[in-house]
């Protein structure tokens, strides 16, 4: 008898809990739909706002308006900085100068370009790898750190990798700065 009474009590509570959950869900859905109309949609004068979507998007970008996921959840308000690799002359100049190399890593957000091992026709047992780190977006010589590694392989395919100190770094920096300066002047014109 005690067992069946306990089972009956559980069934009744489960039924009441289901009704309570349904009621709370209904109240939640109704409150969300009712509250969306207050302040969310603003009345707009259609003479001042473009009708087509692409034109509105251009206007929003021009006025600095928009929304990001971070703003929606309240993280990092008003400190978003959008930079694109096409607008950075140092980045573009580096890619232009290193276009003859096979690139293994190109990470704009991390500020790094790493080439794959490159061998020219003069020395088959030697390969070079160039790493460019961007320390700043300003067109200056101390905005870049370029390292070159050399891999020397013997006839039995044992290879040794070492940091290669030569004029290549200075020549690359000078070429990149020269190209970046030209790109910056073209951008201003």
Could you tell me which residue, 119 or 87, shows the higher pLDDT?
Answer: 119
Going by pLDDT thresholds of 50, 70 and 90, the confidence category of residue 85 is: low
Q: Residues 151, 117: contact at Cβ < 8 Å? A: yes
Residue 159 scores a pLDDT above 80: yes
Per domain, the residue ranges of the chain are 2-73, 85-188
Q: What is the pLDDT of residues 95-107, one digit of tens each?
A: 999 998 899 998 8
Residue 5's pLDDT is 56
Listed in sequence order, the residues at least 6 apart from 83 whose beta carbon sits closer than 8 Å to its beta carbon are: 137
- Mean per-residue pLDDT over the chain, rounded: 77
Q: Is the pLDDT of residue 167 over 70?
A: yes
Per-residue pLDDT for 1 more than 80? no
Specify burial of residue 137 (Cβ count, 10 A radius: 0-12, 13-18, 19+): middle
Residues 6+ apart with CB under 8 A from 129: 114, 115, 116, 117, 118, 148, 149, 151
CB 83 within 8 A of CB 100: no
CB 136 within 8 A of CB 155: no
Tell me the average pLDDT across 72-94: 64
The label of the residue with tokens 């209904």 reads: 26
- The listed CATH number (2.170.150, 3.10.450, 2.40.170, 3.30.530) that belongs to domain 85-188: 3.30.530
pLDDT tens for each residue of 49-73: 777 777 777 776 666 665 544 554 5
DSSP 3-state of 121: coil
């Amino acid at each position: 008898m005690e067992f069946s009474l306990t089972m009956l009590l559980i069934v009744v509570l489960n039924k009441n809990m289901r009704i309570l959950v349904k009621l709370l869900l209904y109240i939640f859905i109704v409150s969300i739909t009712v509250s969306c109309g207050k302040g969310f949609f603003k009345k707009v004068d259609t003479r001042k706002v473009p009708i087509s979507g692409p034109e509105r998007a251009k206007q929003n970008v021009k006025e600095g308006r928009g929304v990001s996921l971070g703003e929606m959840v309240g993280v990092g308000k008003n400190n978003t900085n959008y930079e694109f690799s096409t607008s950075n002359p140092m980045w573009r100049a580096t890619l232009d100068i290193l276009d003859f190399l096979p690139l293994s890593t190109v990470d704009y957000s991390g500020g790094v370009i790493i080439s794959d091992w490159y061998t020219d026709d003069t020395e088959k047992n030697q390969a070079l790898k160039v790493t460019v780190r961007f320390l700043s977006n300003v067109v200056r010589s101390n905005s870049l750190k370029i390292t070159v590694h050399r891999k020397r392989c013997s006839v039995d395919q044992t290879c040794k990798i070492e940091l290669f100190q030569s004029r290549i770094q200075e020549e690359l920096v000078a070429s990149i700065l020269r190209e970046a300066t030209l790109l910056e002047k073209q951008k201003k014109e």
